[in-house]
Structure 1
Amino acid sequence: MDPLEGEASSASVEYEPVSVKDVLVEMKDTAELLIDLSYSAVLHRNEDLAQEVLRLEERMNVLELRARMSLMLAARNPADAEQLAPVLGIVAAADDISDAAGDIAKIVLEEMGLPDAMRAALPEAAETLVRVVVDPDSSYADRTLADIDLESETGVRVIALRRGDEWLLNPGPETTVTSDDVALLRGPEAAIGDVCETLTGEPYESPSIDSPGVPDLERAVDTIIHMKNLSELAVDLAYSSVLFDSAALAEEVRNLEVEVDAMQSRFEAWTLRAAADAEEPIALRGLIRLGVSTEVISDAAIDISEGVLRDFDVHPVVQLAVQESDEIITRVEIEPGSELDGTTMTGGVPDVDSTMSVIAIRRPDEGWILVGTADAELRAGDVLISKGTRTAAEAFDALSTSS
């Protein structure tokens, strides 16, 4: 057993009078970061990132216990129990995501084996996530993120800081980066090396990539990357369905989960076929674990949105917990003859008078298309998942309707 695991599992947790909203906020942020960290640890074969996943997993276990204690005390009658039951589902789902992320991290820590195709599957333009320890002599040490202005200058973002056992998730402009902080950075590969060197005082080495050369294995890896992206989208939509009490978004979570299930079946078939041609079939163990854990994450998204699907009233504490900005996620279906029908998109933004950004398309004859920064042409029948302000969302909905 990993020393960190053994020490973490024996820690006692006592009830503390804490805000349920604050605990749910931290659980949501932690779950999203865990997904990001665990896959990055696998794709980059980075043991340091994998260890941070286990630390966050233990933090999630503590948060889950505290949330359950607070919710048990809050239920005073049957009406309270009915409203709080879906909240318990959200708490359990966040913990399921945490456990799945921990299982993914252990692929690296237990050296279960992964094919080289995993690293080769990363798109060239993909952002990189790295873990660094801030050197006391760094020019960034003991300065706020606003003062450093890292994202504007380099495109690299500090997505989390760990200071001893304390986690600072979603650090803001006034957050100070101190010496010996563990910083988690995300940004373009071309820029992240210089930032790492400035923070640590040590050279940054980009991992090398080898071509896989096994067709079935390439298909399996491409499939697991797509499953990962769909599962992340499902979790995002699930929280949004709760925030806006949107049965339409919750139904899209269900559609995503069905797609991930189907993809997992194809993924398993390609992985087994690839074993016949692989030089070391044992190296596929980690890939199989990755597929199972990814499917668990998409199932957890269903659990988050279950209260909405079953038409329970959304508890106010949940709405407060997941509402962090004016940006919202919407679902619209393009009607024939509407302004969006036949519109081209550049960089994920439709060529119409709107500031909404399309993040995914569900197309009847093609399934899910993750847009990102891609160019595409919108068609009648497309279901668009988009991000933007409330005002822009209302205008965007009108553009999808034929007059």
Structure 2
Amino acid sequence: MEPDVAYEPVSVKDVLSEMKDTAELLIDLSYSAVLSGSDEVAQEVLALEERMDVLQLQARMSLLMAARSPEDAEQLAPVLGVVGAAEKIADAAGDIAKVVLEDIGLPDAMRAAIPEATEALVRVVVDADSEYVGRTLGGINMETENGVRVIAVRRASQTGKRAWITNPDKDTEITAGDVLLLRGLDEGLETVYETATGEPYELPAPADQPIEDLERAVDSIVTMKDMSELAVDLAYGSMLFNSEGVAEEVAELEAEVDALKSRFEAWTLQAASRVEDPVELRGLVHLASATEVISDAALEISEGVLRGLDAHPVVAAAVEESDEVIVRLTVDADAEIAGHTLGELELGTETGMRVIAIRRPGDETSWVISPDASTDIAAGDVLVAKGTRAGGERLSALAGDPLAFDT
């Protein structure tokens, strides 16, 4: 039964922000369900898809209440497009989850092709006797102690409705019955799982070694997942902060995902001749189609910015209240940061900015998504970073590209 939704005064910025977090989480969960073959995680995707349906309705109501003139309608039209694109992302994530739930067809050997360094996503229900109950995430400190992050919390309210915390922080308190979505490596997950549930953690059963083309296909799935999440993150950022430069990076990512999808389909077809039952690869074709939908939706979110349409005052005012920005910077040949690693530069400490992606120029454009301390910065690299306005200005100066700070 669909949940009842009635108009209530809410901040457009808050709703759009929660839609952004929800969209990113949907992508993460749906692909993780496929890679792990987890029905439980796939079910969480469908539950979160319901939450997105509610957010879409709330956003549309709030935007309709804000339109009082033809000028308002013109400025709000791109924001309504953002809401429609979010619906496409949620539907695509649901389609990916159904690949698992409806046994559309995925080779068991996929699990063996997942790199050992790839973090797993696990769903746990917190037992009433768990030592985590009544403690905050900051107090538990499982990320430092175990290398495990809580990426979302779902809890049942007293009315029986599901409440999602899509961006839990150090002050989030754990209660009995909470559903935690954990990301980390198996060793750390084992400890956290047993502490939360009081039950032993069962490691995934080893699978037969896959054929080479399936290994390539799984590598492509992981890359498409990362790129889709980044595209959605940047698309919302470009719209919320009216950044044409960031919107252009969304267009670059969309083109890269399209190219990756084509290679993915080719590898899947090549693998079909080497498996006993080619029908078991049908799910991979579904994955490719859903991924394209997500990247296309990300481009739709940033389309208003790319077309030079100004944000409606109700959105612009909310953005002015926020100190967070997303910047796109090109590293100059004489820049202070060129030729150093992110670890050496300590940009987070020096500027307060977090580099979330790097696009490297060349004969074949390549992306570094979620770069780490060992990632080198070279002249000509395009950095995409999030942080404060003041931090954006400092990073802009270090990159030698002050004109690229356009938020």
**Counterpart position of 2:74:** 82
**Counterpart position of 2:133:** 141
**Counterpart position of 1:94:** 86
**Counterpart position of 1:108:** 100
Query: What is the alpha-carbon distance in structure 2 between the residues aligned to residue 285 and residue 323 of structure 1?
Result: 47
Match of 1:299 among 290, 296, 300: 296
Check whether the contact 1:342–1:380 (CA below 8 A) recurs between aligned residues.
yes
**Counterpart position of 1:373:** 372
RMSD of aligned Cα (Å): 2.8
Query: After superposition, where does 1:146-185 map in structure 2 within 5 Å?
Result: 146-164=138-156, 165-185=162-182
- Which moves more between the two structures, 353-362 or 105-114? 353-362
**Counterpart position of 1:245:** 242
Letter in 1 for 2:302: S
CA shift digits 1:261-313 (9 cap, x unpaired): 11111211111111011222111111111111111111111111111111111
**Counterpart position of 2:405:** none
TM-score w.r.t. structure 2 length?
Answer: 0.88
Query: What is the alpha-carbon distance in structure 2 between the residues aligned to residue 147 and residue 90 of structure 1?
Result: 37
CA, structure 1 residues 175+361, in 2 after alignment: closer, same or farther (shift >3 Å)? Answer: closer
**Counterpart position of 1:216:** 213
Check whether the contact 2:99–2:286 (CA below 8 A) recurs between aligned residues.
yes
User: Shift of the alpha carbon at 1:181?
Assistant: 1.6
Check whether the contact 1:117–1:210 (CA below 8 A) recurs between aligned residues.
yes
Check whether the contact 1:117–1:221 (CA below 8 A) recurs between aligned residues.
no
SS at match of 2:400: coil
- Which moves more between the two structures, 115-124 or 126-135? 115-124
Match of 2:38 among 46, 54, 74: 46
User: Shift of the alpha carbon at 1:137?
Assistant: 1.2
Letter in 1 for 2:245: A
**What is the aligned-residue identity percentage?**
60
User: Shift of the alpha carbon at 1:323?
Assistant: 8.8
Query: What is the alpha-carbon distance in structure 2 between the residues aligned to residue 276 and residue 30 of structure 1?
Result: 38
CA shift digits 1:362-396 (9 cap, x unpaired): 22223122253263443332222234443333222
SS at match of 1:177: coil
CA shift digits 1:317-343 (9 cap, x unpaired): 445777997554321112233333433
**Counterpart position of 2:392:** 393
Letter in 2 for 1:399: L
TM-score w.r.t. structure 1 length?
Answer: 0.89
CA, structure 1 residues 261+322, in 2 after alignment: closer, same or farther (shift >3 Å)? Answer: farther
SS at match of 2:302: helix
Match of 1:359 among 353, 356, 360: 356
CA, structure 1 residues 378+153, in 2 after alignment: closer, same or farther (shift >3 Å)? Answer: closer
- Which moves more between the two structures, 21-30 or 82-91? 21-30
CA, structure 1 residues 346+211, in 2 after alignment: closer, same or farther (shift >3 Å)? Answer: farther
Structure 1: any 5+ residue segments left out of the alignment?
A: 1-6
User: Shift of the alpha carbon at 1:202?
Assistant: 0.4
Query: After superposition, where does 1:8-19 map in structure 2 within 5 Å?
Result: 8=2, 11-19=3-11
Letter in 1 for 2:400: T
Match of 2:14 among 11, 18, 22: 22
Check whether the contact 1:241–1:250 (CA below 8 A) recurs between aligned residues.
yes
CA, structure 1 residues 355+168, in 2 after alignment: closer, same or farther (shift >3 Å)? Answer: closer
Matched, 1:308 2:334: no
Query: After superposition, where does 1:222-237 map in structure 2 within 5 Å?
Result: 222-237=219-234
Query: What is the alpha-carbon distance in structure 2 between the residues aligned to residue 196 and residue 301 of structure 1?
Result: 34
- Which moves more between the two structures, 332-341 or 296-305? 332-341
Match of 2:256 among 236, 255, 259: 259
SS at match of 1:160: strand
Letter in 2 for 1:286: G
